[in-house]
Amino acid sequence: MAGAQPVLSASPVLARIFETYKRAWESRDADLVLTIFTEDAIYHEDPFDRAMAGHEAIRRYWKRATRKQRNIEFQWSPVCSSGNLHMVDWKANYTLADGSGKAELRGSMIVELRGERIARFREYWHRQLRKTRRRK
C-alpha cells in the first residue's frame, strides 16, 4: 500500500465493519457476515486456493469454517489505511466442538471497500492447536 499511513484508531466505517465481523464470527452467523460484503465481493482466504466470489460462496465457506468452533473470541486492530484499502491484524481463540482441544489463531486482513462494505477481502493467518488431555 504505497502511501499508506499507520492507523491509531479505525474510521467509524471500518469499526462498524469489523465489529460486525466479530459478532458474526463469535455467533457463527453467516447471514450477519454477509451484511458487510458487497453482493459481488471477492473473498480470498487461502493464497493457494481460488478466491470465493459472491454471497453464496462466502456463506458456504463461513458455515463450513465455523461448524466445529465453539466459545469463539475475536479481537482486531487497525494497522494502516490508504484510501479505500485497509489492513487489520486480528487474533481469535475457540474450542473445538468435539472438546478435543483449543485453537489460537493470528492473522492479517486486507480489505478494499466499496462504499461502506467490503468488495475485496484477503487474509493470511496461522493456527496453533492445543489438544485437551482426556481423563481416564
Q: What is the mean pLDDT of the chain?
A: 92
Sequence ranges of the domains in the chain: 9-131
Give the chain as a DSSP string. Answer: -TT-EE-SS--HHHHHHHHHHHHHHHTT-HHHHHTTEEEEEEEE--TTSPPEESHHHHHHHHHHHHTTEEEEEEEEEEEEEETTEEEEEEEEEEEETTSSEEEEEEEEEEEEEETTEEEEEEEEEEEEEEEPPPP-
Note the pLDDT tens digit of each residue in 42-90. Answer: 999 988 999 999 999 999 999 999 999 999 999 999 999 999 999 999 9
User: For position 120, what pLDDT does the model report?
Assistant: 98
Question: Tell me: the pLDDT tens digits for 11-45?
Answer: 999 999 999 999 999 999 999 999 999 999 999 99
| Banded model confidence at residue 9, pLDDT cuts 50, 70, 90 | confident
Predicted local confidence at residue 132, as pLDDT: 82
Q: What is the pTM of this model?
A: 0.89
CATH topology for 9-131 is Nuclear Transport Factor 2; Chain: A, (3.10.450)
For residue 136, what pLDDT is reported? 54
Could you report the per-residue pLDDT of 88-136, keeping only the tens digit for each? 999 999 999 999 999 999 999 999 999 999 999 999 999 999 988 665 5
